[in-house]
């Protein structure tokens, strides 16, 4: 009998680790928690959900985002867009002061394909001169420190001067494991030209992904379920007798 009781205790101790419910969740609530609609309130599994930022709130940086400014000519709202009414852009500094301007997404967990639309000058940015770039980075623990991951350049995808063009990047091979990051959109150069971005989409979760049990852990869980079922049946038979 003591053996069965011990097994039952061990089994019930495993239940909290298998529960995916948020302990702070009000299950009696009749309205969802207030949250920024651009950044969904993720469930306890930390499953990334699609997010699109088109700057339609009319502010740069958007709510939840941040900026790093090193020049008076930096990221701002542009009343022209790939879709909707607005986008974000940086114009070049005619005094030829170096520009290194960042737009940063919220810190969290990203996955899958990053897509964005951009335009710029082929003459100043790629084909004749290479005076400025529109770069994409995975930013770890803030800009700098040597651990940020370079993703690519949007100017590689420009189809013409001031022509909205799409860039896509697979983030999965580049993301550091089990660590929150930001996506960084960087204008960098001297004597460049205008760069605009719009309709940025990616998969995002504010919470870390839930740990998936290994095969051995699943085996232990299954064994506990089998043994607990046998214990219940044995106790039930004794009660009947």
Instruction: Sheet containing 99-104: give its strands across.
Output: 66-68, 99-104, 182-189, 132-139, 149-153
Instruction: Name the band, by pLDDT with cuts 50, 70 and 90, for residue 16.
Output: very low
Q: What is the pLDDT of residue 178?
A: 86
Task: Give, in words, the CATH class of 49-205.
Answer: mainly beta
Counts of helices then strands in the chain (DSSP H, E): 3, 11
Place of tokens 């039952």: 8
Average pLDDT over residues 160-186: 96
Q: Which two tokens stand for residue 117?
A: 């639309």
- Summarised one tens digit per residue, pLDDT across range 57-110 is 999 999 999 999 999 999 999 999 999 999 999 999 999 999 999 999 999 999
Separation of alpha carbons 241 and 238, rounded Å:
5
In the chain, beta strands by DSSP E: 49-53, 66-68, 76-78, 87-90, 99-104, 109-119, 132-139, 149-153, 165-170, 182-189, 195-205
DSSP category for residue 181? B
Separation of alpha carbons 189 and 99, rounded Å:
5
Conformational region of residue 30, where left means phi above 0, alpha means psi within -120 to 50, and beta covers everything else: alpha
Phi (first) and psi of residue 116, to 5 degrees = -155, 160
Separation of alpha carbons 117 and 90, rounded Å:
14
Q: What is the pLDDT of residue 193?
A: 98
Angle at which helix 215-240 crosses helix 2-18, to 10 degrees, equals 130
**pLDDT exceeds cutoff 70 at 181:** yes
DSSP category for residue 2? H
Instruction: Name the band, by pLDDT with cuts 50, 70 and 90, for residue 233.
Output: low
- Can you give the residue ranges of every domain in the chain? 2-13+213-240, 49-205
- Summarised one tens digit per residue, pLDDT across range 108-152 is 999 999 999 999 999 999 999 999 999 999 999 999 889 999 999
Q: CB under 8 Å to 26, separation ≥6 — which residues?
A: none
In this structure, how many other beta carbons lie within 10 angstroms of the beta carbon of residue 48? Answer: 20
Q: What is the pTM of this model?
A: 0.72
């Amino acid at each position: 009998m003591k053996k069965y009781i011990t097994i039952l205790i061990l089994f019930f101790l495993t239940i909290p680790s298998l529960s995916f419910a948020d302990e702070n969740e009000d299950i009696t609530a009749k309205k969802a928690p207030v949250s920024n609609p651009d950044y969904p309130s993720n469930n306890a599994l930390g499953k990334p959900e699609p997010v699109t930022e088109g700057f339609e709130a009319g502010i740069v940086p958007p709510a939840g985002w941040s900026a790093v400014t090193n020049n008076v000519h930096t990221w701002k709202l542009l009343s022209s867009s790939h879709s909707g009414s607005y986008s974000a852009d940086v114009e070049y500094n005619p005094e030829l002061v170096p520009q290194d301007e960042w737009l940063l997404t919220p810190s969290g967990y990203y996955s899958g394909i990053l897509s964005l639309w951009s335009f710029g000058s082929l003459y100043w940015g790629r084909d004749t001169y290479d005076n400025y770039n529109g770069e994409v980075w995975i930013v770890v623990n803030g800009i700098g420190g040597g651990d940020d991951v370079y993703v690519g350049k949007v100017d590689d995808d420009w189809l013409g001067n001031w022509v909205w063009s799409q860039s896509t990047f697979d983030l999965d091979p580049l993301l550091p494991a089990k660590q929150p990051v930001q996506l960084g959109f960087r204008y960098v150069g001297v004597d460049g030209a205008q760069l605009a971005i719009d309709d940025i989409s990616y998969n995002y979760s504010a919470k870390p992904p839930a740990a998936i049990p290994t095969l051995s852990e699943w085996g232990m869980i299954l064994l506990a379920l089998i043994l607990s079922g046998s214990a219940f049946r044995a106790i039930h038979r004794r009660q009947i007798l």
